[in-house]
Structures are given as structure tokens and as C-alpha cells.
Amino acid sequence: MEKVISTNRKARHDFRIEETYEAGIVLTGTEVKSIRNARVNLKDSYAKVEGGELFLYNMHVSPYDPGNRYNHEPLRTRKLLMHKSEIGRLAGKVKEKGYALIPLKVYFREGLVKIELGLARGKKKYDKRRDIAERDHKREIEREFKEKKLGKIG
């Protein structure tokens, strides 16, 4: 059972997601409590392979209100947990083909916090405009279909 806490909707607008991966994340106790309260923001965050390990940057986890002096730093770098072979494969793709690792969502699976990472390539401005135009076109078709359907019934 998967309980989604936060999604990065901007990522699908700015990037073309080619593959997705699931990673665990190393957190402190106050971070987990804050994430349970959905006080996490993935905007402008990214993952990077350094020294054979995977790290997540710029993920904002708000400080836990009842937490005292043991509270965490909101924007600290967090280590992601994946198999060594997967990290090696990701490092090769990011280095070779100009991809980026973007977190798409944060969720709980069996009581553990997980991150869905997307292997992404940036979209050009005209690609974004084309996507918006297609979405508007689909919405218009759905609206016309709905009106016809309601007109026949009534």
C-alpha cells in the first residue's frame, strides 16, 4: 500500500521523464514526523551521484513544530538508498547523455519513506507550448463530447 505525501507537478511540465526509479532515503526522526504531516516540498530539488552514492539536494522538509533543539535543517543534503548497480547505471546515463535525476514524488510504503526518481531530459520552450496546446485540445473535445451526451439523454 502506497500513501503519496507530495508530488513534483512542475517536473512533468519542465522535463520529459524517460524512466522512473524507487529509492529509499536516510532521514532523522523529526524529518519523518514532518513528512507524515505533508510538510515537504520537492520544487527545484534534484539528485546527483557523487563518489558512488546518490544524494538529494534542495528538498525542503519544514522543521517539526514540537521538535526542540534536535530539529533538522530544512534544506540539508539527504542520502538516497539504491542498489550499487542501479546507481552505477544512473551515473553512466546522467554523465553520457545529458539526463538529470528529478524527484517526482515522496510516499510511504510499508511505513518507510520512499522517493520516486525520474531520469529526465529538459524540454524546450516550444515543447512546453505544444503540450499545453494538446492538453487544451483534449479538454475541449471532452467538453463537446459531454455536451452531446447530455443533449441526447435530456
The DSSP element (H or E) to which 3 belongs, if any, is strand 2-7
Confidence of residue 84 (pLDDT cuts 50, 70, 90): very high
Question: DSSP string covering 15-58, please?
Answer: EEEEEEEEEEE---HHHHHHHHTT-EE-TT-EEEEETTEEEEES
Nearest to 38 by CA among 113, 103, 116: 113
When pLDDT is averaged across residues 63-75 and rounded to a whole number, the result is 79
Q: Is the pTM of this model over 0.85?
A: no
Mean pLDDT of the chain: 85
Q: How confident is the model at residue 83 (pLDDT cuts 50, 70, 90)?
A: very high
Average pLDDT over every residue of 115-122: 86
CA atoms within 13 A on the CB side of 29: 6
Residues 122-139: tens digit of each pLDDT: 777 777 787 788 888 888
User: Which set of grid coordinates corresponds to residue 106?
Assistant: 515522496
**What is the per-residue pLDDT for 99?**
85
According to DSSP, residue 123 is labeled: P
pLDDT in tens, 1-58: 788 888 888 888 778 888 889 999 998 888 888 888 888 888 888 898 888 899 999 9
Beta carbons of 13 and 129 less than 8 angstroms apart: no
| Spatial CB neighbours of 87, under 8 Å, sequence gap ≥ 6 | 49, 52, 53, 54
Q: Is the pLDDT of residue 65 over 70?
A: yes
The answer to which of 10-19, 103-112, 143-152 has the lowest mean pLDDT is 143-152
* pLDDT of 71 above 90: no
